[in-house]
Copies of this chain bind each other. A is one copy, B any other.
Amino acid sequence: MNAFTIWFTGLPCSGKTTLATLLYNHLLQWGVSNVELLDGDVVRQYLTRGLGFTKQDRDENIRRIGWLSRMLNKHGVNAIVAAISPYRDVREEQKKLIKNFFEVYVKCPVEICEQRDVKGMYKKARQGIIEHFTGVNDPYEEPLTPDIVIQTDKFSIEDSLKMILKGLMEKKLVGQYD
């Protein structure tokens, strides 16, 4: 089975990291050890420290995550990416570069994301304290043809995970484990 990259895209606080981490742990429990979680916030600490949030810097961030995913995939390691990745063009670019790319659009109305925001980031963005905040004062371009759309305001986390696993199985990216 060829290694894959599952790419979670969506607004801040839409549920990307939650779902990606759940999927990661689920795969580990299934005995799939060749998997790596590349969370946008974590990656920015190690791989892309110093990059900001202009389109240019966001694109560079995404390209580095994509480069790393390809390297992992090449060696049979699956990558689970959770990153806002707000721009369609660079997502499409990565989709073309990465062989088994599975795009999950984590869809949630901005109002709901805002309610979930424990760090108060949306509030700071609304107050103008944070610039370039996706969904408030920076754009988010919805995927036009994602492999799956998960509406996290409508489905439970568990059901969302099941939908993702079903999607991965249908694409034969993971086997029927349970």
Residues of A whose CB lies within 8 Å of any CB of B are 34, 36, 46-47, 49-51, 60, 63-64, 67-68, 71-72, 75-77
**Nearest chain B residue, comparing its CB with the CB of A77:** B75
A53 to chain B, nearest CB (A): 15
Contacts of A46 in B (CB 8 A): 63-64, 67
Question: How far, in whole Å, are A50 and B59 apart by their CA atoms in the complex?
Answer: 14
Given contacts A47-B67, A75-B76, 19 further A-B contacts (CB under 8 A): A34-B75, A36-B71, A36-B75, A46-B63, A46-B64, A46-B67, A47-B47, A47-B64, A47-B68, A49-B60, A50-B50, A50-B51, A50-B60, A68-B68, A71-B72, A72-B75, A75-B75, A75-B77, A77-B77
17 contacts between A and B (CB under 8 A): A34-B75, A36-B71, A36-B75, A46-B63, A46-B64, A46-B67, A47-B47, A47-B64, A47-B68, A49-B60, A50-B50, A50-B60, A68-B68, A72-B75, A75-B76, A75-B77, A77-B77
Tell me how many chains of this kind the complex includes. 2
Contacts of A51 in B (CB 8 A): 50
Contacts of A50 in B (CB 8 A): 50-51, 60
Contacts of A64 in B (CB 8 A): 46-47
Contacts of A76 in B (CB 8 A): 75
Contacts of A75 in B (CB 8 A): 34, 36, 72, 75-77
